[in-house]
Each structure stands twice: as structure tokens, then as C-alpha cells.
Amino acid sequence: MKKIFSILFSRENILAFVLCLILVALTIFTANTSPTWIYQGF
């Protein structure tokens, strides 16, 4: 059981999980804002 925890909670897996959470949070928080740079030419 201890070996499973050491595999699941290794440094690489924790960093990958944190990076995934940051990407999901950025996607959620920026979904409501419209990209105004697309419409600047019109």
C-alpha cells in the first residue's frame, strides 16, 4: 500500500496535477471575457 502511494503521489504527478488545475482555472475564468483583439479591425 505504501508503494502505491509513493507512485501516485510522486513529485511529477503532483506537479502535473497542479498544472492541470491551473489550466482548467484559466479556461473557466477567461471563458466569459470576449477576445476584443479579434474585433479591432472591424
9-32 pLDDT, tens digit each = 889 999 999 999 999 999 888 876
**pLDDT score, position 16:** 94
DSSP 36: T
For residue 1, name the pLDDT band (cuts at 50, 70, 90): confident
CA pair distance 27, 36, nearest whole angstrom? 17
Residue 35 has pLDDT above 70, yes or no: no
Residue 33 has pLDDT above 70, yes or no: no
Phi-psi region of 3 (alpha: psi -120 to 50; beta: other; left: phi over 0): alpha
**pLDDT score, position 17:** 94
CA pair distance 9, 2, nearest whole angstrom? 10
- Element spanning 18, H or E: helix 11-30
Cell triple for residue 18? 497542479
